[in-house]
Amino acid sequence: MKKFFKAPALVLVALAFTVASCGGGWSDDDKKKFMDKCSEGASAMGEAGEKYCQCMLDKIVEKYPDPKTVDKDMDKEWMQKEAMKCLSGGEE
């Protein structure tokens, strides 16, 4: 159960790494960097970790079309709620 509480933190670390290298709009390289960092942190979750990271990336890109705004506009409550949805396999 501990791994579920770490998952939102994994996204925040991946976001910090990605946002530092962004310049407006999510490029394929930005998305790959996010996935690489998130997947690295979620590796103990196996395939579920990959699905979680992709689910979160999709949600974050939709909510924050400009990656430069993610860090300053991050809604942590929203992030935790969406992380729990992604962990449970729901992408609603």
pLDDT value, residue 18: 55
Q: Can you tell me the distance from the alpha carbon of 34 to that of 18, in angstroms, rounded to the nearest whole number?
A: 6
Count of CB atoms situated within 10 Å of the CB of 90: 10
pLDDT value, residue 1: 40
Confidence of residue 72 (pLDDT cuts 50, 70, 90): confident
pLDDT value, residue 51: 92
* Structure-token match 């929203």, residue found: 78
Q: Can you tell me the distance from the alpha carbon of 26 to that of 28, in angstroms, rounded to the nearest whole number?
A: 7
pLDDT, greater one: 14 or 27: 27
